[in-house]
Each structure stands twice: as structure tokens, then as C-alpha cells.
Amino acid sequence: MARAKIALIGAGMIGGTLAHIAAREELGDVVLFDIMEGTPQGKALDIAEATAVFGSDVSLKGANDYSAIADADVCIVTAGVPRKPGMSRDDLLGINLKVMKAVGEGIKTYAPNAFVICITNPLDAMVWALREFSGLPHKKVVGMAGVLDSSRFAYFLAEKTGVSVEDIHAWTLGGHGDDMVPMVRHSTIAGLPLPEVVAQGWISQDELDGIVKRTRGGGGEIVALLKTGSAFYAPAESAIAMATSYLKDKKRVLPCAAYLSGEYGLRGLYVGVPVVIGKDGAERIIQFSVNDDEKAMFAKSVESVQGLIAACKTIDPSLA
Ligand code: A3D
């Protein structure tokens, strides 16, 4: 059986890390694409030269021409610019929207059957725009943010409670901004919902509130430390989990930015919800029960996403 082909559009910090993980895990042949001449070729060759060490029989190629992504099974999009200290994700909108247009058209021409995972920020608006520009079915285009935000939430909980990250199931929904919605009632440690964990005295309500706040600002915390860019290891791992679930038809339930057609009372936009990822892409959206507080937080987060989509339509009238 032919190996899967994974096209990484954007060969920067996340793109290079994705290539490294995909090669190590023998997930498929990797093509790194970027507009910078030499960068995708150099990173592909560097990782290819390590395959004999880690014993992986995949090919790695770098390219500056979209024809190289032809017939890719998966495209992971990181093309664009990341945040610098003092910038919000939304500040990236104008620049990255133009990039999504070029990428969307490249995917439409060369890889129309791919499962597409967008990582470029501001995520929920960029994945929406990328889907519009590419014309691919909504189920085949998703955004990566929830896996990362939930992983940060789980890590902070593990650190505070002294329980293995493997026994924590944390969920964040809504848009990938500072008003994302960590789902405290639906997140569990060894099956116990977090309010129960607080009631049993493992952590105090104040500590839990602090963790929720830190999760919401998790991206900014890394930007402030790195100073020259944003997180890349955890975002890359998160997108690989999504690609793996698609390629292996694992049907994992992962929080992803998915297109809503009535779920959660919303239509016509992308926002973070729990999704079954299998061979058909975003196969099913899971509906969490939401109480009034959660509904209000979700609505606020969705409002920000709707504002960004409206801004995209103003900048590029072809999207209106
Ligand atoms: P960086 O290392 O700058 O890589 C971006 C790459 O995109 C560079 O190599 C550019 O040359 C390339 N590029 C720019 N324009 C184009 C184009 N038109 N076509 C192809 N390639 C192009 O950034 P990064 O890898 O650190 O981050 C990439 C994106 O991911 C940024 O928008 C970040 O904000 C975003 N990001 C999202 C998350 C989420 O959780 C959603 C987390 C971290 C970063």
C-alpha cells in the first residue's frame, strides 16, 4: 500500500517541527512548502539525513512550487506570520488572510481530496477563510487550537494535583482567543469532574480559577518568554494527533475548530467543539450540555469569531 503523503504548507517553526514528528512517527512521506527559497529544502534535507538514525523509511522534500503538494492526503497549514510580544492573534488578520487566499487556491488546484488542518492565526477566522478559498467540503477542513488549549489545561491540572496527565481529560471549547471556554464541568481527573475534585479538596477553587486563567493566556505566556515568535512544539504535536486520527481512521474525539450547521445553535462559522476525526474528516460534532454560565462564555467567544469573519469580508469582498 502506498505511504500517505503529508503536505506541510509553511516551513517555519511549526512546519519544521511537524515534519520532524511526521518523519519520526513514519506517518507518511513529507513535503514542506514555503515561499522562502531554501528554507523548506534545507529543513527537509536536515530531517531526511536523520532518518537513518531513527530508522524511518519516509521521503522528505522541500518545495517553493505548489505542484509539489499534488495529491496530498493531509495538508497542514502554518503559512503566515506568528505573534510577537504585545500583539494579539487578531492583529495578524490582514496579513494572514492574503496568505490563506494563496494557500486555499494551491490546495484547490493540487490537493482537492486532502484533509486540511489549519493552524494559522487568528485561527477560527483563518480556517473559515481557507475553506472558502479552497472550496473543499466543510468536513475536510478543520482548525487546530482546542487540542493545544486542552493539553495546556490538562498539563496545568496535572502539575497542581500531582496526577498523571494521562488520567486527565480536559476540554476547552469556543474560539481560540483569550475568551476561549475551558469546560470545567466536563473536564475530569480519573473520571471525577473538576467541581468534584475541588469539593474533595485536591485543589481549591482559587487554584482552579488560576489554572483556567493561565490556560486562556497560555499562548501569550509562551510569546512573552520566546519574544521572537509563538509556541511550536505543542501546536505541532496537537496537529499530528489530528492528522493521525484521520489517516488511521481512529475516530478520536478531539476539540477542533469545525464548521457548525446548527450544532450549539450556530451556523455558518468555525469554532472549537468536540469532533470525531476519522477517514471522512470531521465526521461528527459532539454536543456538550451547557449551563447558562457556559452558554454566556461560549456566546462571547463566538461573538469575537463573528467579528473577525466580518473583518475578513470587509478586507476581501470576494468572501462576502
Ligand atoms: P513561522 O516560524 O514564522 O512560520 C511561518 C512560515 O510561513 C514562514 O516560514 C513563512 O516564510 C511562511 N509563509 C509566509 N507566507 C507564506 C505563503 N504565502 N505561502 C507559504 N508560506 C508562507 O511561524 P510559526 O510556524 O511559529 O507559526 C505559524 C502560524 O501558526 C502563525 O500564524 C501562528 O500565529 C500560528 N499559531 C497558531 C497556534 C494555534 O494554536 C492555532 C499556535 C501557535 C502558532
Q: In angstroms, what is the span from residue 310 Cα to ligand 1's centroid?
A: 22
Residue 78 Cα, ligand 1 centroid: separation in angstroms? 4
Q: Give tens-digit pLDDT for 13-28.
A: 999 999 999 999 999 9
In a domain, 173, yes or no: yes
Residue 300 resides in a domain:
yes
The grid cell for 93 is 488578520
- Report which protein residue has its CA nearest ligand 1's atom 31: 82
- Cα–Cα separations (whole angstroms), residue 237 to 101, 186, 192, 266: 26, 23, 26, 29
Same domain as 98, residue 33: yes
Give the pLDDT confidence score for residue 166 in this predicted structure: 98
**Structure confidence at residue 83 (pLDDT):** 84
Q: How far is the CA of 9 from the centre of ligand 1 (A)?
A: 9
How many domains does the chain divide into? 2
Position 24 scores a pLDDT of: 98
- Is 131 annotated in some ligand binding site? no
316 lies in a domain?
no
- pLDDT of 87 reads 85
> Do 151 and 280 belong to one domain?
yes
Give residue 1's pLDDT band: very low, low, confident or very high (50, 70, 90).
confident
> Is the same domain home to 299 and 173?
yes
- Assess if residue 274 is contained within a domain: yes
pLDDT of residue 127: 98
CA 281 – CA 74 distance, rounded (Å): 10
139/169 same-domain check: no
Same domain (yes/no): 76, 138: yes
Q: What is the pLDDT of residue 82?
A: 86
Which residue stretches of the chain are H helix?
13-24, 39-48, 51-54, 93-110, 123-134, 146-161, 194-199, 205-216, 218-226, 233-247, 292-315
Flag whether 320 is in a domain: no
The atom of ligand 1 lying closest to the CA of 99 is 18
For residue 305, pLDDT over 90 is answered with yes
The pLDDT tens digits of the residues spanning 234-269 come to 999 999 999 999 999 999 999 999 999 999 999 999
174: domain CATH number?
3.90.110.10
Last-in-domain residue among 97, 115, 144: 144
Distance CA 88, CA 7 (A): 28
CB atoms within 10 A of CB 94: 12
Q: Which of 120, 191, 188, 117 is nearest to 157 (CA)?
A: 188
Q: Is 176 among the residues known to form the active site?
A: yes
Could you tell me if 94 and 167 lie in one domain? Answer: no
Residues of the chain with pLDDT > 70: what percent? 100
Measured CA distances, 62 to 40, 47, 69, 267 (Å): 4, 11, 10, 38
Q: What is the CATH number of the domain that holds 135?
A: 3.40.50.720
Do 38 and 120 have their domain in common?
A: yes
Residue 212: pLDDT above 90?
yes
What pLDDT shows up at residue 177? 87
Task: Tell which residue, 210, 211, 229, has the closest CA to residue 219.
Answer: 229
Choice between 91 and 129, residue whose per-residue pLDDT is larger = 129
- Average pLDDT in the 223-232 region? 95
- Taking residues 75-86, what's their average pLDDT? 92
> What is residue 88's predicted lDDT score, i.e. its pLDDT?
84
Whole-number Å distance between alpha carbons of 110 and 108: 6
pLDDT given for residue 178 in this prediction: 87
Residue range 32-61, pLDDT digits in tens? 999 999 999 999 999 999 999 999 999 999
- The residue type of 202 is W
Which residue, of 118, 144, 170, is where some domain finishes? 144
Q: Are residues 133 and 170 in the same domain?
A: no
67 by Cβ neighbours in 10 Å (0-12 / 13-18 / 19+) ranks as exposed
d(CA 115, CA 4): 12
Domain boundary among 114, 144, 174: 144
Q: Are residues 293 and 173 in the same domain?
A: yes
* Residue 317 in domain: no
d(CA 29, CA 155): 31
**How does residue 84 score in pLDDT terms, banded at 50, 70 and 90?**
confident
What integer is the mean pLDDT of 293-313? 94
The pLDDT of residue 67 is above 90: yes
User: Are both 181 and 83 inside the same structural domain?
Assistant: no
Please report whether residue 259 resides in a domain: yes
Of the residues 20, 138, 169, 176, which is catalytic? 176
Q: What is the gyration radius of the CA atoms in the chain, in angstroms? A: 19
CA distance 146 to 161: 22
Which residues have CB under 6 Å of ligand 1? 9-15, 34-36, 39, 78-83, 92, 96, 99, 102-103, 119-121, 123, 144-145, 148, 176, 229-232, 235
Q: Are residues 191 and 86 in the same domain?
A: no
What is the pLDDT at residue 90?
83
Q: What is the ipTM of this complex?
A: 0.99
The amino acid occupying position 201 is G
State the Cα–Cα distance between residues 6 and 160, nearest whole angstrom: 37
Mean pLDDT of 93-120: 97
Q: Burial of 203 by CB count in 10 Å (0-12 exposed, 13-18 middle, 19+ buried)?
A: middle
Question: For 127-144, what is each residue's pLDDT tens digit?
Answer: 999 999 999 999 999 999
Q: For residue 89, is pLDDT > 90?
A: no
153 and 60 in a common domain: no
Q: Is 216 annotated as a binding residue?
A: no
Classify residue 318: in a domain, yes or no: no
Print the domain residue range for 270: 146-310
